[in-house]
Amino acid sequence: MTTTPPGAGLGAAIRTWRNRLPPLAAGLPVVRKRRAVGLRREELADLAGVSVDYVVRLEQGRATTPSASVVASLARALQLSTAERDHLYRLARIVPPADGTICDHLPSGMQRALVRLGDVPVAVFAADWQLVWWNRGWAALLGDPLALPPRMRNFARDRFPVGADHTPLVLWPVTDTDPDTTDAALVSDLRRVTGRFPRDSRLAALVRDLNAGNERFAELWAKGEVTANREVRKTVDHPSVGPVTVDCDVLTDGDTELKIVIMTAAPGSEDETKLQLTTVVGPPAGIRN
């Protein structure tokens, strides 16, 4: 009698989903001489933020217990539907995210729409402002978030640092035209989503940490205000092209509370030219991007 290895189903599913996703749909450049129709292992690893060796071990059934965060990253990178995402969780022997908790998963249609934006700087944050997706344009303008530990890829933790070991979410200085309004809107939005996701432990821990460790956050939280996000203007002091002023718009999905953040410059302006240059010139030598 033969038995199926513990990770065989998980590995086969990942391999099947990887083989069906064309590179172009994932926002990757198309190379002419290419036998693989779907993603290569190294491409999936890069999109999911894991090592190529780990992807190989998962597909071969030698790694059978990926963490929930790795499963979530793989589901996003593979552009799985919600049902497929839940199946991936179960194959990894992890309970899928429950209703009433924050969604980190981007619907495949949303990902396809974002890929069509090309190099326009865009990122997606979860309801608690945890960064869950970004494109090449975002990394070129602000620095690659892969340089940060996952816990620090959170806009609220970046805006209201706790302790001396704070690592900025962006790699070079960014100035708001109205920082007080930005602070108030962020805290207000977090208050709003705590009502939407009262059982989410990650959100509760975030609010608890910031209330206890950041005086500015605690002051704004105590006001109890609930307002909507507003368009803001930011100036990025980019190390290669100099200051770039951009409009920062936040689009919120009503079902998932995922926040799509898009940065654009006025058409025909010097800032638009600089913004386009960021994806061409890259950062100076020695700066990770």
Q: Specify the CATH number for the domain of residue 275.
A: 3.30.450.180
Is 244 within a domain? yes
- In this predicted structure, the answer to whether residue 159 has a pLDDT above a threshold of 70 is yes
* Number of domains observed in the structure of the chain: 2
Residue with tokens 């933790």: 157
Is 31 within a domain? yes
Q: How confident is the model at residue 284 (pLDDT cuts 50, 70, 90)?
A: low
120 and 237 in a single domain? The answer is: yes
Q: Express each pLDDT in 104-144 by its tens digit.
A: 889 888 988 999 999 999 999 999 999 999 999 999 999 99
59 and 23 in a single domain? The answer is: yes
249 and 127 in a single domain? The answer is: yes
Give the structural domain span for 69: 8-91
Asked if 256 contacts 249 with a C-beta cutoff of 8 angstroms, the reply is no
165 and 236 in a single domain? The answer is: yes
Is 36 within a domain? yes
162 and 248 in a single domain? The answer is: yes
Tell me how far CA of residue 29 lies from CA of 73, 119, 136, 162, in angstroms. Answer: 21, 12, 11, 39
Q: Which residues, including other chains, have CB under 8 Å from residue 6's CB and lie 6 or more apart?
A: 61, 64
* Mean pLDDT, residues 192-206 taken together: 92
Across the chain, mean pLDDT equals 88
Q: Is 178 left (phi over 0), alpha (psi -120 to 50) or beta?
A: beta
Structure tokens at 198: 């009262």
Asked if 84 contacts 71 with a C-beta cutoff of 8 angstroms, the reply is no
Is 96 within a domain? no
* Mean pLDDT, residues 148-164 taken together: 91
Tell me how far CA of residue 237 lies from CA of 89, 141, 282, 283, in angstroms. Answer: 41, 9, 14, 12
74 and 124 in a single domain? The answer is: no
What is the CATH number for 55? Answer: 1.10.260.40
Is 98 within a domain? no
118 and 170 in a single domain? The answer is: yes
Is 97 within a domain? no
pTM, 2 dp: 0.78
Last residue of a domain, one of 40, 62, 91: 91
